[in-house]
Structure 1
Amino acid sequence: MKRAIVIPAYNEETTIGQVLDSLLDFKLYQIIVIDDGSTDNTATIVQQYPHVVLLSLATNLGAWKAMQTGIRYCYVNDYDRVITFDADGQHLPNSITQLVAAQSLSDDDVVIGSCIQRGSGARHVAWRLFRALSCIDVADLTSGLRIYSRAAIAILSSREATLLEYQDVGVLLMLKTFGLSLSEVQVEMLPREDGISRIFHSWGAVCYYMTHTTLLCLSKVKLSNEFAYQKALNNYND
């Protein structure tokens, strides 16, 4: 089974080296870093790790589209599992083992590393609202620590997935619409060492995120012709 750890990074020069050092023991995984148009030394630091694949974007596209770039790379190169991992030092390497073990037991297409103790009051209000609107039974909707199956990788590589702006509720709605199974496992996360949350760094950002995601939940995600084709293709391959 081919497995990859995908790490989107934007101006993470203070943490990316530590993150890559912490993953040195995961020799059976291909580590892929997507430099999302960083203006600092992020790419230069990653280049010092010859076993790491570096995908550099010409401009900053945002966390989800950078993540999708790595997921598409894995789809094209026939990876069976993708683990998404943050570059800011919040995610712990032993959580990867927990995700893999949980997926092996549940056989779910997506397992989320959940840490409900983290985050501000605004984050928890958002979680409660979007659980109600989306009917997605996941406690930590915004966790970027996830493991995806081959079927999930195929769906998230589609053109429709490119239209998403965030990697949380919209991604889960799309996967649920496609009939994939979701679950979560409790993990520990560290406080952010540097930088700010794109979603929760200000009330303006929170309002935009709440409006955008609420409309997405209300409109749901429709199965397009491309989705129908990919579903038929996955069933054939299975």
Structure 2
Amino acid sequence: MLNQPITQKINDLNVCVIIPTYNNQHTLKRVVDGVLGFTNNIIIINDGSSDTTAQILENYPEIQQIHFPENKGKGFALRRGFEHAISLGYEFALTIDSDGQHFPNDIPSFINDLEVHPTKELLIIGARNMKQEGVPGKSSFGNKFSNFWFWFETGIKLTDTQSGFRLYPLNVLKNLKFYTTKFEFEIEVIVKSAWKDVDVKNIPIQVLYDETERVSHFRPFQDFTRISILNFWLVFLTLIYYKPRQLFRNIKKKGFKRFFIEDFLGSSDSPKKKALSVALGVFIGFSPLWGLHTVLAIALSIFLKLNKTITFAFSNVSLPPFIPFIIYASLELGQIIFQEPISYSVTDLMDNFEVFKHLKTYIVGSFALAILGAILFGVVAYFFFSIIKKKKGVLQHD
């Protein structure tokens, strides 16, 4: 019998439930029957199962079913399920694994959270209690690993990024491009959704790990390698695209003056932390690592827990109009260090690439300039931010 209040909400919100399954003959029926207690809006993706899955599903002719002749991978199954749900006009898809670890009784928690969300641009991940008895150690470690990279890539802290019990906004997903087809898809989809300003959050759910019934198809070496490759690519995109885009969006939204006051000067960071952020940005900007300045500025500011906005801003001391002066100063310092005078003109540097004939002198001089610039700018910034903080304190006191 259907849970009428939740069933009505599911219909009103235009939600379907997608169940991908592969060789879970011992638990599939229990999961399907549990979901049927809340809704008939179900799409089952049989991902090339070789057990009795097809025979079990023959008993549910009223349910939408897609059968693959061979195993394609969980990501591929989910993507096909999303496409089918969109074609049927659904706006949200709730996914639940068929291995028995999830409890369909948690469906109302997802629906109630969706109902009260103001914009409905929401992606919910059911958070398992990874400390409870019976949770495999490799699952707990893998989840912590995934949580860290998701935070690095999006700035959002979650307690569980690997749970397959989720609610997706299909109107967002239909405009995204995906490239993965295995378990790593569940990482790709939440990162790209977060980049589209979707509210990604956890809600607590129950979990059952019954080794006598549960069949896991996760292959530690192959799938962990795939996930690592995906995260490497997502981190790269984060550093060269997502983080800079966030910064420029913030500036555009607030206006430069407000941004400068609130995010640059009005930060709660101490003058010391801000000054170190300036020093790091200048060091990177003057360094000879051309093409990597933005990536290094954001990555190192995150790693060193400095102010990312300030570091990124000052790494741009190497904007194109300043490049000839930076190269010139680097070569001059290099000559002083090596005590080897060289002859060149500005035309030689810019047109004839004379700098490459004196690469050692340039690189050493460049790092020397980076160190001196970092110290100088850092000291000046420290006194500047200290004065601003004192003035701000006086104004607040008055």
TM superposition score category, shorter chain reference: 0.7 to 0.9
SS at match of 1:66: helix
Where do 1:152-191 residues align within 5 Å? 152-155=172-175, 158=176, 160-163=177-180, 165=182, 166-191=184-209
SS at match of 1:60: coil
Partner of 1:236: none
Where do 1:122-161 residues align within 5 Å? 122-134=141-153, 135-155=155-175, 158=176, 160-161=177-178
- Following the alignment from structure 1 to structure 2, what is the Cα–Cα distance between the partners of residues 46 and 139? 34
The answer as to whether partners of 1:109 and 1:151 remain within 8 angstroms in 2 is: no
* 2:47 is the counterpart of 1:30: no
Partner of 1:101: 112
With over 3 angstroms needed to count, the CA separation of the structure-2 counterparts of 1:71 and 1:207, relative to structure 1, is closer
Greater relative contact order (Cα 8 A, min sep 6): structure 1 or 2?
1
**CA displacement at 1:175 relative to structure 2:** 0.7
**CA displacement at 1:190 relative to structure 2:** 1.0
TM-score when normalising by structure 2:
0.50
TM-score when normalising by structure 1:
0.81
The answer as to whether partners of 1:108 and 1:183 remain within 8 angstroms in 2 is: no
CA-atom RMSD in angstroms: 2.3
Query: Structure 1 stretches (4+) deviating beyond 4 angstroms?
Result: none
Partner of 2:75: 64
**CA displacement at 1:42 relative to structure 2:** 0.7
With over 3 angstroms needed to count, the CA separation of the structure-2 counterparts of 1:197 and 1:83, relative to structure 1, is same
With over 3 angstroms needed to count, the CA separation of the structure-2 counterparts of 1:164 and 1:173, relative to structure 1, is farther
Rg (Cα) greater in structure: 2
**CA displacement at 1:219 relative to structure 2:** 2.7
Gapped regions of structure 1 (runs ≥ 5): 224-238
Partner of 1:43: 54
**Corresponding residue pairs, total:** 216
- Following the alignment from structure 1 to structure 2, what is the Cα–Cα distance between the partners of residues 217 and 136? 14
**CA displacement at 1:142 relative to structure 2:** 0.5
Partner of 1:110: 123
Considering fraction of residues, name the structure with more helix: 2
- Following the alignment from structure 2 to structure 1, what is the Cα–Cα distance between the partners of residues 199 and 86? 19
The one-letter code of the counterpart of 1:57 is F
- Following the alignment from structure 1 to structure 2, what is the Cα–Cα distance between the partners of residues 191 and 57? 27
Is the deviation greater in 160-169 or in 170-179? 160-169
Considering fraction of residues, name the structure with more strand: 1
- Identical columns (%): 21
Gapped regions of structure 2 (runs ≥ 5): 1-11, 243-398
